[in-house]
């Protein structure tokens, strides 16, 4: 079980302790836990399949919740539920509540908690980008375009070094969508990294976990695109936690955490996290963290230097402005749907015919 604080001053996420929750409550702050979908799935395994919650890694969350004072924490499954097929959403909510009633009976819902009791149309789960609302498409356009380019570059330039591919990636996102997101660039660094024999097993595992999630080289173009969209969905947990971090909700500030059993989200958060600056949005500044091993590696030195250099150049010419205007978002969205999708089809449809 991982408790991730996306915006923090420390290199690693601080420990989420009962004392911290109590201190938050004393300063009129709620500790809000955004649950990943894998936690809801394992709750289902316990209730429907009679599996042991300890074997599934759930007892750390259960024990933590049971030790916290009343009305001091909020469990937020909404973002995970958005990934569930509408046909099973009602059942998933009920299982979530049954699990808590058995293992965390003293937990009380937030006073503003709501549940839609109406039966939703049994439509398809949103598996493709175009099925999202226009607002959601705008929100995820940068991530979606960036991850598409990672796949294209990995396939098209597999004879080049990782550093060369990363520089092509920087050219692509800067020239095509005029946006350079540090989080997606960090994903690219791991995806283009070649595991070396001299790497420690910990670093090899970290690289492989992130690659397995964001660079699934499926031979079927449609399935590859679905995997890219799943990667976009994974990134939304950190973005959502940032959005509500320290914002006031019904008179109380929120300290937001992502709770997950997913190793790749944890490793990515250990490599890059957002840094709090008074008076600024929590998503504006970031910090890259490197192990001693990475600091002494030519590859990691080179890709980090390439990112910093490109960001400095963009800042000098006035490209570091924020936030994006409505016109900026429309242009970004149009580029994604036209050039991004077209480039993807050209690269992987031809590969499919060859195979």
Q: How far does the chain reach from its first CA to its final CA, in angstroms? A: 41
The C-alpha atoms of residue 35 and residue 39 are separated, in whole angstroms, by 7
C-alpha dihedral (189, 192, 197, 203), degrees to nearest 10: 30
Instruction: Report whether 167 contacts 313 (CB < 8 A).
Output: no
Instruction: Give the H/E segment covering residue 30.
Output: strand 29-35
Q: Which residues pair with 75 in a beta bridge?
A: 33
pLDDT of res. 308: 96
pLDDT of res. 20: 96
pLDDT of res. 135: 86
pLDDT of res. 252: 79
- Provide φ and ψ at 171, rounded to 5°: -60, -45
- Give which of 193, 233, 198 is closest to 211, Cα–Cα: 193
The C-alpha atoms of residue 285 and residue 213 are separated, in whole angstroms, by 25
pLDDT of res. 355: 39
Q: Residue 88, exposed/middle/buried by CB under 10 A (0-12, 13-18, 19+)? A: middle
The per-residue b/e assignment along 92-113, b for 16 or more CB within 10 angstroms, e otherwise, is: bbebbeebbeebbeebeebeee
Instruction: Report whether 238 contacts 269 (CB < 8 A).
Output: yes
- Give which of 151, 288, 157, 171 is closest to 231, Cα–Cα: 151
pLDDT of res. 163: 97
Render each residue's pLDDT in the chain as its tens digit; 355 residues.
999 999 999 999 999 999 999 999 999 888 999 999 999 999 999 999 999 999 999 999 999 999 999 888 999 898 888 888 778 888 999 999 999 999 999 888 766 665 554 444 444 455 678 888 888 888 899 999 999 999 999 999 999 999 999 999 999 999 999 999 999 999 999 999 998 888 999 999 999 999 999 999 999 999 999 999 989 989 988 888 887 777 777 777 889 999 999 888 999 999 999 999 988 888 889 999 999 999 999 999 999 999 999 999 999 988 866 667 888 889 899 999 899 999 999 999 865 543 3
Widest CA span in the chain = 64
pTM for the model stands at: 0.89
Instruction: Report whether 99 contacts 47 (CB < 8 A).
Output: yes
Q: Residue 129, Cβ neighbours under 10 Å: how many? A: 21
- Give which of 272, 285, 273, 287 is closest to 322, Cα–Cα: 285
Residue 71 Ramachandran class (φ > 0 left, ψ -120 to 50 alpha, else beta):
left
> Which residues have CB under 8 Å from 43's CB, separation 6+?
58, 95, 96, 99
- Give which of 254, 260, 259 is closest to 242, Cα–Cα: 254
pLDDT of res. 126: 53
The C-alpha atoms of residue 353 and residue 355 are separated, in whole angstroms, by 5
Looking from the CA of 301 toward its CB, the CA atoms found within 13 Å total 6
């Amino acid at each position: 079980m991982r408790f991730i604080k996306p915006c923090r001053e420390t290199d690693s996420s601080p420990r989420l302790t009962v004392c911290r929750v109590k201190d938050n409550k004393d300063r009129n702050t709620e500790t809000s836990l955004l649950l990943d979908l894998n936690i809801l799935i394992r709750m289902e395994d316990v209730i429907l399949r009679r599996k042991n919650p300890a074997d599934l890694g759930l007892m750390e969350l259960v024990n933590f919740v049971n030790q916290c004072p009343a009305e001091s924490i909020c469990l937020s499954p909404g973002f995970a539920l958005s990934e569930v097929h509408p046909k099973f959403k009602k059942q998933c909510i009920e299982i979530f509540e049954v699990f808590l009633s058995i293992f965390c009976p003293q937990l009380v819902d937030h006073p503003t908690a709501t549940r839609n009791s109406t039966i939703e149309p049994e439509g398809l789960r949103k598996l493709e980008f175009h099925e999202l609302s226009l607002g959601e498409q705008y929100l995820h356009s940068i991530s979606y375009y960036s991850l598409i380019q990672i796949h294209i570059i990995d396939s098209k330039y597999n004879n080049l070094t990782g550093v060369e591919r990363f520089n092509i990636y920087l050219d692509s996102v800067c020239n095509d969508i005029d946006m350079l997101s540090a989080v997606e660039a960090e994903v690219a660094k791991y995806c283009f990294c070649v595991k070396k024999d001299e790497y420690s097993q910990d670093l090899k595992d970290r690289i492989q976990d992130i690659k397995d999630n964001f660079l699934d080289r499926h031979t079927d173009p449609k399935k590859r695109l679905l995997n890219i969209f799943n990667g976009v969905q994974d990134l939304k947990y950190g973005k959502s936690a940032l959005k509500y971090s320290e914002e006031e909700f019904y008179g109380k500030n929120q300290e937001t955490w992502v709770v997950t059993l997913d190793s790749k989200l944890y490793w990515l958060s250990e490599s890059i996290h957002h840094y709090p600056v008074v008076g600024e949005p929590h998503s504006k500044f970031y910090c890259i963290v490197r192990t001693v091993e990475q600091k002494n590696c030519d590859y990691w030195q080179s890709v980090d230097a390439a990112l910093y250099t490109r960001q400095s150049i963009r800042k000098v010419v006035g490209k570091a402005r924020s936030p994006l205007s409505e016109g900026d978002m429309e242009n970004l969205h149009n580029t994604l749907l036209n050039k991004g999708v077209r480039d993807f089809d050209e690269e992987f449809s031809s590969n499919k015919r060859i195979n």
